[in-house]
Amino acid sequence: MGVEKDFQKFEYFQNRELSWLQFNHRVLSEARDKNNLLFERLKFLAITASNLDEFVMVRVASLKDMVHADYTGRDIAGMTAEEQLEKIGHGMHGLVDVQYSTWNRSLLPLLKKEKIEFISCHEQLDDSQGAFVDEYFEASIYPVVTPMAVDPSRPFPLIRNKTLNIAALLKKKKGAEKKGELEFATVQVPAVLPRIVELPKGKDGERFVILLEEIIERNMSRLFLNYEIVCAHPYRIMRNADLSIDEEEAEDLLKEIERQLKRRQWGEVIRLEVEESIDKRLLKILKKEFAIKDDVIFFINGPLDLTFLMKIYGTEGFDHLKQKPWKPQIVPEFANEEGVFANIRKGDIFLHHPYESFDPVVDFVKQAASDPQVLAIKQTLYRVSGHSPIVAALARAAENGKQVTVLVELKARFDEENNILWAKRLEQAGCHVIYGLLGLKTHCKICLVVRKEEDGIRRYVHMATGNYNDSTAKLYTDTGIMTCDRAIGEDASAVFNMLSGYSEPLSWNKLSMAPLWLKNRFVSLIRREVKCVSQGYEGRIIAKMNSLCDPVIMEELYKASAAGVKIDLIVRGICCLKTGLPGVSENITVRSIVGAFLEHSRIFYFGNGGNYEIYMGSADWMPRNLDRRVELLFPVEVKENKEQALHILETELADNVRSHILQTDGAYEKPDKRGKVLVDSQAVFAQEAIQAARDIKEKKGQLVSGRTFIPRERPEE
């Protein structure tokens, strides 16, 4: 065999933050893609903006923390935190430049062509429009803004994270004693008012919009009556918001998070966005007050905080500029009146959202809540929607006397406030609520229903790759399984027992759980493929996930590739693995699919010498998933379901419309489409779901269209 090859060299890996920036570039490329409808392009641009905000708030912040802590360790690609910050800073500036050139050069003119005039600065308003916005200011804005001047007696105010503000330089009007001295003032653009203000329509029906901050800027003098406004410019800051909770010390996790939320406003400023044309004196003051250096200042050529474009997308009308809203299709197995549980008893059911409806999952909990035979419902909840029907059903179940256990993950980033609220509600209804686990995030998505039936207890389990969130289920592609398989039911109980603090089961049947067993399971599945190759079989892995950056897994993949295993990876976001490295990763391909739906499912295919196995789960191949979270991997077992899962992977591998392929030089490029049949995997799945729903309707139609009546039998339960 020779000397063991080293698969851990720095040059074999990409830095994860830089890889993330590449991902955001891919989303941005959708905003630049002329084949997309205009409003869809606005939406993609808005997504890149909010993505970048979160990236700065979490990733950049934690790198800053490392620098502050004098941490000199190197990442997988051999970079120190400082080196990473430098490269990221460079990358972010580049990204922002592309964002705004897309906005200014493509989208603004296109909007105008569609008769939507976006008035970039208030100076461009004509007289009647000016009068309109002034009146709007007087009536709606003035009462809710708080102008704050800064002088020796009034210190610099707290500027809140992510809020939009206007900074101004003021000069006392005539009659004031000291002439010529400038004073600083700042006003927060009120978040309670819509950012976009529509003006009266033009003669030809063209529409005009202006941003709220422009109206305030125009009326600054009314806020500071005794002053002359020298200049006024919007700005926005981002603070370090990474929550690191000391759980050992926190008596009550709930209280701790509430406290942290309040404290978050006080973090260090790690980014300042200002208008490109900002007055130098004004900028100097901001720099000093926020204690920042030049490299974190972003000069913006256009409106700050592009997330408002999402609001434009939301305006009524313009349907011809938007993708028709997708209507999730009925899941054929549930196209009857027999109830969720009776249908599951017929065999495992595969779910593919959002192509297929999320309703069966909601029904699973809803029907369990009112089913007299159901004894208990146990569920993990990570992020749920605002008015979650699942939360409501769980509360109802508890009120109906069922034993309801809910593990609520309070540490789900940015969702804490929401989570605390309904967790309390569930507790009031009589549910047993577990507020997460000490030191671990519970990320697995599993729901267990225990039902007492004629021949004894039967357990129904739903496991999925996505959260129990009916809103995101319309936007995220996720897969799931419903089953009443005995062995899985037993494991599901064991999962909840472990989450409740009991010891691990003596053995597992079919599920693998992180952080204890999952990584080893993946490693052994990968190694099995290597073994297959050595025994003369084909070695084959197809894996789809959101991110890939676990060093152990990547090393195993390199080893497998070097041994001749063919590996195709579908990784939407971060991917630290490099393809085409001689002797290391020549057998690996990586592609990323970015489409209207957010790719979110995790599906893993292992060839196993011809007797292929498919797994799905909640975990990405990231250290945070495999080492610091409770995650589940479950097998897809029924032949038809395996075929369906494999079909998803194969279609995505064939996608040449939405996919970006990782090149050996580290760049992502769309495949060459010339002379090829276009495959848009998301469109294919949508079409197939429609067809399947149509087929089942026809089949049912045939039943009633004959000349004989078919009396319905009493339902089974």
- The catalytic residue positions are 443
Minimum CB–partner distance for residue 706 and another protein (Å): 38
Dihedral of the alpha carbons of 595, 596, 601, 602, in degrees to the nearest 10: 10
Task: Tell me how far apart the alpha carbons of residues 426 and 106 are, in angstroms, rounded to a whole number.
Answer: 48
Q: How far is CA 477 from the centre of its chain?
A: 11
| Residue 495 or 584 with smaller CB distance to another protein | 495
Binding test (CB under 8 A) with another protein, winner from 128, 153, 503, 702: 503
Q: Does 128 bind another protein (CB under 8 A)?
A: no
The two counts, helices (H) then strands (E), for the chain are 21, 27
Nearest to 559 by CA among 4, 7, 2: 7
Site track for another protein across 14-53, x = CB under 8 A: ----------------------------------------
Q: Does 452 bind another protein (CB under 8 A)?
A: yes
Q: Does 694 bind another protein (CB under 8 A)?
A: no
| Residue 265 or 403 with smaller CB distance to another protein | 403
Which part of the chain contacts another protein (CB under 8 A), choosing from 32-40, 178-186, 284-292, 487-495? 487-495
Q: Does 502 bind another protein (CB under 8 A)?
A: yes
Which part of the chain contacts another protein (CB under 8 A), choosing from 69-77, 386-394, 499-507, 613-621? 499-507
| Residue 35 or 507 with smaller CB distance to another protein | 507
Binding test (CB under 8 A) with another protein, winner from 501, 582, 701, 711: 501
Which part of the chain contacts another protein (CB under 8 A), choosing from 88-96, 144-152, 297-305, 446-454? 446-454
Find the binding residues for another protein in span 520-539 (CB under 8 A). 520
Q: Does 438 bind another protein (CB under 8 A)?
A: no
Binding test (CB under 8 A) with another protein, winner from 376, 412, 448, 542: 376
Long-range interactions of 332-337: CB distance < 8 A, separation 24+: 332/692, 332/693, 332/695, 332/696, 334/359, 334/360, 334/363, 335/693, 335/696, 335/697, 335/700, 336/700, 337/715
470 pairs with which residues across the strands? Answer: none
Minimum CB–partner distance for residue 454 and another protein (Å): 6
Which part of the chain contacts another protein (CB under 8 A), choosing from 80-88, 192-200, 455-463, 668-676? 455-463
Q: Which residue has the tokens 């064939």?
A: 654
Task: Tell me how far apart the alpha carbons of residues 480 and 601 are, in angstroms, rounded to a whole number.
Answer: 9
Q: Does 545 bind another protein (CB under 8 A)?
A: no
Site track for another protein across 324-363, x = CB under 8 A: ----------------------------------------
Q: Does 457 bind another protein (CB under 8 A)?
A: yes
Dihedral of the alpha carbons of 118, 120, 126, 127, in degrees to the nearest 10: 120
458 pairs with which residues across the strands? Answer: 451
Contact status, residue 585 vs residue 606, Cβ threshold 8 Å: no
Which part of the chain contacts another protein (CB under 8 A), choosing from 41-49, 241-249, 496-504, 640-648? 496-504
CB atoms within 10 A of CB 252: 9
Binding test (CB under 8 A) with another protein, winner from 138, 504, 538, 669: 504
| Residue 336 or 500 with smaller CB distance to another protein | 500
Long-range interactions of 292-299: CB distance < 8 A, separation 24+: 295/86, 295/89, 296/89, 296/269, 296/270, 296/271, 296/272, 297/272, 297/273, 298/92, 298/93, 298/96, 298/271, 298/272, 298/273, 298/274, 299/274, 299/275
Q: Which residues bind another protein (CB under 8 A)?
A: 375-376, 403, 432, 450, 452-457, 490, 493-494, 497, 500-507, 517, 520
